[in-house]
Structure 1
Amino acid sequence: MAKVSASEGLTPKAMDIGESADRESTNEGVRLKKELSLMNGVAIIVGVIVGSGIFVSPSLALKYAGSKGMALIVWILSGFLSMIGALCYAELGTMIPKSGGDYAYIGEAFGDLPAFLYLWVALFILVPTGNAITALTFAQNILKPLWPVCEPPADAVSLIAAVITCFLTALNCFNVKWVTRVQDSFTAAKILALLVTFFASLWYLFSGHTENLESMMEGTITEPGNIAIAFYTGLFSYSGWNYLNFVTEELKDPYKNLPRAICISMPVVTLVYALTNVAYFAVLTNTEILSSEAVAVTFSEKILSVVSWIMPLFVALCTFGSLNGAIYASSRLFFVGARNGHLPLAISLIDIKRLTPVPSLIFMCIVTLVLLMSNNVESLIVYVTAVEALFILCSVSGLLWLRYTRADLQRPIRVNILLPITFLIICTFLVVFSCFTHPVEVGIGVAFIALGVPVFCVFIMWKNKPYWMQNACNSFNVFCSKMFLCLPEDSKDL
């Protein structure tokens, strides 16, 4: 039985990925295990990326691009931009081999305050909002066959979304191997589903229906603000390419497997997304795409006829796997933040039997459940992507800054300096011009980031807190430790 007292302090200990091999026995210390292989890494990246975005964003991309041709260009260039970003993160991930992704890189380059601001935004905006969108998309599509001619009841959608979020959280708490098996299986299923979509469209084209691919560039919109938002919708569908960096400490041989996983998964996703959009554009008119909230379902109703129910099932499979991977990877972000003292220490505790960050998973689940009432997908996408772009910009800037200030750091991978510079220029363009078309959403995101500054000053910088506050925090940490049978990292099972 694990015994924890307030006098032990429950203080987290910093861990470097190269310190030691896996510690399976709690007598050697409690820590997360290295269980992710190369294929598991590929499955996490592909599985997280291919989620709700490809089924939600096509109509929004077309709306702001103006034409099918321009929308397709946006999708392909979004893939290339994500690939450039992923390669920059491969250098960051092997240079700073710690879990936490952007949080670890920004902290290493610029210090505690910018790192905390990323953690603050990820905690309340990036992760739970993305997870909520994915869970709602899963619920809407799993219920669609029961309401084929109308939208499923909102309460039923919210309930199913909450149930699937809780179920996957429980799975992640119980066993990492089960999580990776689910991820591998559903990643293969979702790639198959999207390929079925493409081949169905080929059959439609070979039947003589080519009218929807004529005049592909007609109606193209060239205003910079609209192009920026079109890229936002595309980049939202590719979001998740940096999630493997959140779990670097659990990846076997990360110096080799992290960049390999990125180089395998990103071209695969870009190709599959391009083929899927070609399929949509070949079968549906502009009006049909723009008026549809679920383009894949509209596609299936037009081309698959009596078996059109299969497409909502495919979408549900895709979003199920995406949500599973997102819960697994992002929980490690909050675990690392708490381990470094930027969140309540209870979130950095590890289950002594299953070696999973149970409190972090449960905390993230609660925040996601609160946001499941969100319904304006377009605003959410702009809101999330604008904020995320700011911090990805900060991370890649950190790459250049560390090359200048920390030339002594080991760099198993060193990308051409033109890649991060190109990425910075494009991201800056997107953030600046999006302010002109969606100033409210971008303004709210920036204001929320600024709100994190006083929070940091009160809860992190203020060292001489009143005794009652320190005692309350420590009592809460001990309560969570006893309730979940968890200990801080590297603690002994006493």
Structure 2
Amino acid sequence: MPKACESTESLGKKAAASGEELASSEDPVQLKRRITLINGVSIIVGSIIGSGIFVSPTGIFKEVNSVGASLLVWVACGVFSFFGAYSYAELGTMIQRSGADYAYVLDAFGPFLGFLRVWCEIIVMRPCGQTIVALTFAKYVLEPIFTGCQAPIITEKLLAALCITIITFANCCSVRASTIIQDVCTWGKTIALLGIIAAGVAQVCRGRVEAFNDAFADTTLGIGNLVRAFYSGLFAYNGWNYLNCVTGEMKNPQRDLPLAIFISCALVTVVYVLANAAYFTTVPVSIFVSTPAVAILFAQKLFGPLAMVMPVFVSLSTFGGVNGIMLTTSRLFYTAAEEGHMPAVLCMIQRKLLTPLPAVLLVGLLSLVYLVADDIYMLMNYMGFVNWLAIGLSVFIVLYFRITRPLAPRPIRVPIVFPVVYTLLTVLLCTNTFIGAFQESVMGILIILTGIPVYLVGVAWQRKPTSLLKASSSFTRLVQKLFLVQLEDKDAD
């Protein structure tokens, strides 16, 4: 596919050539295929399992109003997420490049819709999401210190900033460092959840099964209730598509991508359902619907003083979540820059470290900027409708390619029912959201529309003034000299 902004890429290449004397290396300057199957599982599991399963899994129960129906919704959300994730496996093995949703929309529908997709991710969704997870990390690190009272907001923000800074530094230094962080955090929080499940099994052995007697009594099955319950559950499963952002860095994507998706979705679904069942063995239903931190209350009732360990595990979980977002989002910026949809400097690689350093720094900077905002959660609410609409569009591309590219190589060919069911249910969810949360949906659409003038000026406008081109080239050279970065060696073996 031709680049969307040839003049920008040309400037980047000239600037890269002018910076050849900055450093030398025997190895080609390019992102290496270093992500293994285990790393892939860690990225998906680590991105999915955040603070939600520890902090507040009450949203589903409030809507369906019974233990049995609540657990069934958790299962259904896991199966639904697997349908979407496995559909992404077909796309990820057809289009073996980093970028996930952006790369697929770009390939299917062209640069305009591709740019709008990445614009939403860049302007709000990824940096806001990372900031929120970092703030959750700070809250639970401070929990043992400020027991019984609220920590000062400035303290939380400073600790969140430290978290983002550490993760940014690690991702700048080494892909290996970021995957090690992801592996450690993923298995740490998985062990914590397995501990909760083991405690739940012990409770069942003691006969604490009152909550499961007549488990479906008083179930509420209204369409609106079910849709809202699904939204709560799908929020907890969000992140299953993050591995597709780094497909280009996987050692064997044709084999490992679908395997990692299957293992991760199955593992997370089983762990989520069993952890929620464990909660019901100890936390009374009357309290369950009102507590903001079910896992901590569960630990307090069973472990006494040892319950102070639970905030540590929540912090570990969220720290890994921040790292997962950083790792995948920087590759999204990198891919967009390769297409001319972002400044050329964002697709440059540090010559010694072989990391996309400019893209990583930008993600970290945007996340730090959002810490200044008083209500970044409001922006995330505006983008909820857009997020599921965009993911549904990406899954629909599987069906679109089956019609428009029937003979294209498909290393993974998913059963057609997977993308069909996922697309139809996404339409149902988005329609209900637009009706039930009209203001948030409209604001989300307006945020998308702000990308149109940016596209027209930054990408579609080819004949920019010479003065503007010179200024862009000078900025690119400055960044190269500061960080010793250059364009990837595409011709290297």
Q: Which residue of 2 aligns with 1:392?
A: 391
Work out the CA distance in 2 between the residues paired with 1:28 and 1:426.
48
Q: Check whether the contact 2:349–2:488 (CA below 8 A) recurs between aligned residues.
A: yes
With over 3 angstroms needed to count, the CA separation of the structure-2 counterparts of 1:378 and 1:159, relative to structure 1, is closer
Matched, 1:31 2:33: no
The structural deviation recorded for 1:237 is: 1.3
Judge which range, 206-215 or 245-254, deviates more. Answer: 206-215
Q: Is the 8 A contact 1:57 1:234 kept in 2?
A: no
SS at match of 1:309: helix
1:375, CA displacement in angstroms? 7.3
1:234 is matched by which residue type in structure 2?
G
- The whole-number CA distance in structure 2 between the counterparts of 1:66 and 1:12 is 63
For 1:120, give the aligned amino acid.
Answer: W
Q: Kindly indicate whether the alpha-carbon contact (under 8 Å) linking 1:12 and 1:345 is maintained by their aligned counterparts in 2.
A: no
Q: Cα distance, 1:53 vs. partner? A: 2.5
Residues 6-17 of structure 1 mapped to structure 2, 5 A cutoff: 9-11=11-13
Counterpart contact for 2:50–2:321, Cα < 8 Å: yes
Task: State the alpha-carbon separation in 1 of the partners of residues 220 and 374 from structure 2.
Answer: 27
Residues 376, 215 of structure 1: CA spacing in aligned structure 2 closer, same or farther, 3 A cutoff?
A: farther
Q: Following TM superposition, by how much is the alpha carbon of 1:469 offset from its aligned partner in structure 2, in angstroms?
A: 2.0
Percent identity (aligned)? 39
432-441 vs 312-321, greater mean Cα deviation: 432-441
Name the counterpart of 1:21: none
- Segment drifting more, 127-136 vs 249-258: 127-136
| Residues 296 and 307, structure 2, Cα contact 8 Å, conserved in 1 | yes
Q: Which amino acid aligns with 1:313?
A: V
Judge conservation of contact 2:55–2:296 (CA < 8 Å) in 1.
no
The one-letter code of the counterpart of 2:417 is L
Deviations, residues 246-299 of structure 1 (Å, cap 9, x unaligned) = 111110011111111111111001101111111222222334233222222222
Letter in 2 for 1:137: T
- Shift, 1:202, TM fit: 2.7
Match of 2:478 in 1: 479
Q: Contact between 2:67 and 2:211, CA under 8 Å: does it hold in 1?
A: no
Cα RMSD (Å) = 2.4
Structure 1 position 448, deviation (Å): 0.9
Q: Do 1:117 and 1:449's aligned partners in 2 also have CA atoms closer than 8 Å?
A: yes
Is 1:70–1:220's contact at 8 Å kept on the other side of the alignment?
Answer: yes
1:463 equivalent to 2:462? Answer: yes
Change (3 A) 1:292 1:473: farther
Gaps of 5+ in 1: 1-5, 14-24
Corresponding residue for residue 180 of structure 1: 179
Amino acid at match of 1:467: T
Pair 211,274 (structure 1): closer, same or farther in 2 beyond 3 Å: same
User: Kindly tell me: are residues 11 and 288 of structure 1, through their superposed partners in 2, closer, same or farther at Cα, counting changes over 3 Å?
Assistant: farther
Structure 1 counterpart of 2:347: 348
2:265 aligned residue: 266
Cα distance, 1:137 vs structure 2: 1.4
**Which AA in structure 2 matches 1:372?**
L
Range moving further from structure 2, 203-212 or 447-456: 203-212
Q: Residue deviations 1:59-87, cap 9 Å, x none?
A: 22223333333322221111101101111
Deviation of 1:382 after TM superposition, in Å, equals: 4.6
Distance 1:394 1:169 in 2: 31
2:132 corresponds in structure 1 to 133
Q: Which residue of 2 aligns with 1:18?
A: none
Map 1:207-226 onto structure 2 (within 5 A). 207-226=206-225
User: What is the TM-score when the length of structure 2 is the normalising length?
Assistant: 0.91
Specify the alignment match of 1:324 in structure 2.
323
Structure 2 vs 1, CA of residues 218 and 383 (structure 1 numbering), >3 Å: closer, same or farther? Answer: farther
Q: Is the 8 A contact 1:52 1:133 kept in 2?
A: no
Note the alpha carbon deviations across 1:325-361, whole angstroms, 9 max, x for none: 2211121011110111101112111100001011111
Give the number of aligned pairs. 477
Equivalence for 2:432: 433
Contact 2:9 2:344 in 1 (8 A): no
Deviations 1:378-411 (A, max 9, x none): 8666544422111111111212111211223211
Structure 1 residues 74 and 361, CA gap change in structure 2 (3 angstroms): same
- 400-409 or 427-436: bigger deviation: 400-409
Distance 1:331 1:194, change over 3 A: same
CA contact (8 A) 2:128 2:380 kept: no
Task: Give, in angstroms, the shift of residue 306 of structure 1.
Answer: 1.3
Q: Which amino acid is the alignment partner of residue 451 of structure 1?
A: T
Q: Is the 8 A contact 2:9 2:340 kept in 1?
A: no
